[in-house]
DNA sequence: TTGCTTTCTTAAGATATCTTAATTTTTTTT
DNA sequence: AAAAAAAATTAAGATATCTTAAGAAAGCAA
């Protein structure tokens, strides 16, 4: 069986990669963490629900996606171990989400409820800094994605994607990668073939 | 002539729309503000430079854009009075920007150097909160743009754009709007004609 | 006001990407 | 291992969007 304390310790290590935490800070944080187990294809959040937790992938792989009016899936976020995953829109605005957050493998998530997190913001000095920094890098990453959207064609985007997500990319089915990149899966398949030799 | 104190007061009001500031907070902040005047087409930042200020448009209109390898312009951000405008990537990472930040009208910008802002973060209690909240809404807005990129066709994007930027949109030349939306200006022109009657 | 410069429009042909549908391959379940 | 389900490939025809080039309109400067 899995040792939950070890998992929680993993999140503490993750925090320590960015901010300083005392032993008592760590204990305080650990006391607020909840662990959730998800089977493949299970949902952590579905449209209509309000996202009330910050969520950290401890093991496994997930994605955030939504369905447009034509019921097409569009993937907004992919994530694996040690990535945060959420619909921040819903979390921050307290409005119902339009997103699905789904496990793509057997997955373990560590969550903090927004109430607990607010307390931690007050009680653990460096906690706001952690989320400020996270938020900043998330913003920069999203801006990068916007830039790619504006200036790259489909193959360039794909090519950048696989070089950026080295190895990780194999954990996601191709049709999900296509939906992340904003192209039809058949077209991605066509591109892969066309450029087959050139792929690094 | 323009009364600079009034302009600075405008920024204080803007801050007060989101956080609480005492009289002495306001004075402290005001003491760090610099005012910059830009003529139409003038640049506030150019590629290769590091963005060392947080920038607030006091009057006028600006855009952030970059050139791709084919020297095509892509507009990442548009802004008018009371909007913050910057290349956060460069500002946060201290790396050289790839962006142009350009005035599209006679423009007045209020700046705070990153050094001064860091001080304010320590000296004005609510200051970090302001930027945390700003950052959050910027992130959510960018996520919204990503969603549109994934699921809307060009006309839908344009249509959403003009309803979102009511009236403001007339202050930006159409080819810039096209470059913001990620389409060729000729195609935008074609779409406008095609849907001419339906435009609200 | 005239002339110059910038922006916008039009149209034709080229290209990228999508849609549909059938087939094959891979993965999962029994 | 066989059967069922999910994912990937292929190919043809359809559509969206781009490119180029030229002319018209609008804005700005002399």
**Gap from A89 CA to C8 C1', in Å?**
38
Work out the number of other CB atoms within 10 angstroms of the CB of residue B137. 12
Cα distances from A144 to residues A157, B44, B142, B152, in angstroms, run 11, 21, 11, 19
What A177-181 contacts at long range (C-beta under 8 Å, 24+ apart), as own/partner pairs, is: A179/A65, A179/A72, A179/A73, A179/A74, A179/A75, A179/B150, A180/A63, A180/A75, A180/A76, A180/A78, A181/A154, A181/A157
CATH superfamily of B4-151: Jelly Rolls (2.60.120.10)
Span B91-105, mean pLDDT?
Answer: 96
- Answer yes or no: are the C-beta atoms of B40 and B104 closer than 8 Å: yes
pTM passes above 0.75: yes
Least-confidence region, from A31-35, A131-135, B72-76, B104-108: A131-135
Task: Measure the CA–CA gap between B86 and B99, rounded to whole angstroms.
Answer: 9
Nearest by CB to residue A88, choosing from B132, B140, B149, is: B140
Q: Could B142 and A142 be called an inter-chain contact, meaning their C-beta atoms sit closer than 8 Å?
A: yes
**Gap from B46 CA to D23 C1', in Å?**
34
Q: pLDDT over 70 for what percent of chain A? A: 98
Name the nucleotide nearest B182; use CA and C1': D17
Each residue of A93-123: pLDDT tens digit?
A: 999 999 999 999 999 999 999 999 999 999 9
Structural domain spans, chain A? 4-151
Each residue of A132-172: pLDDT tens digit?
A: 889 999 999 999 999 999 999 999 999 999 999 988 889 99
Confidence grade of residue B2 (pLDDT, cut at 50, 70, 90): confident
Q: How far is CA B111 from the centre of its chain?
A: 13
Residue ranges of alpha helices (H) inside A54-173 are 88-93, 114-123, 127-151, 154-164
- Closest by alpha carbon to A70, among A179, A191, A195? A179
Cα distances from B112 to residues A94, B6, B23, in angstroms, run 32, 16, 19
Cα distances from A116 to residues A5, A13, A52, A136, B129, in angstroms, run 18, 19, 10, 22, 18
Task: Measure the CA–CA gap between A142 and B145, rounded to whole angstroms.
Answer: 10
């Amino acid at each position: 069986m899995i040792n939950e304390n070890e998992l929680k310790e993993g999140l503490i290590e993750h925090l320590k990669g960015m901010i300083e935490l005392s032993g008592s800070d760590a204990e305080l944080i650990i006391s607020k963490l909840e662990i959730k187990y998800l089977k493949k294809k299970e949902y952590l959040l579905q449209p209509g629900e309000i996202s009330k937790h910050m969520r950290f992938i401890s093991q496994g792989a997930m994605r955030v996606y939504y369905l447009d009016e034509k019921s097409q899936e569009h993937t907004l976020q992919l994530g694996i171990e040690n990535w945060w995953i959420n619909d921040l829109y819903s979390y921050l605005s307290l409005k119902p989400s339009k997103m699905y957050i789904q496990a793509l493998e057997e997955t373990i998530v560590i969550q903090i409820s927004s109430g607990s997190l607010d307390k931690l913001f007050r009680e653990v000095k460096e906690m706001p800094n952690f989320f400020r920094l996270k938020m900043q890098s998330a913003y920069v990453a999203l801006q990068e994605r916007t830039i790619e959207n504006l200036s790259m064609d489909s193959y360039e985007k794909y090519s950048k994607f696989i070089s950026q997500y080295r190895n990780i990319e194999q954990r996601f089915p191709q049709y999900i990668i296509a939906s992340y990149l904003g192209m039809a899966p058949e077209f991605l398949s066509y591109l892969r073939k066309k450029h087959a030799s050139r792929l690094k």
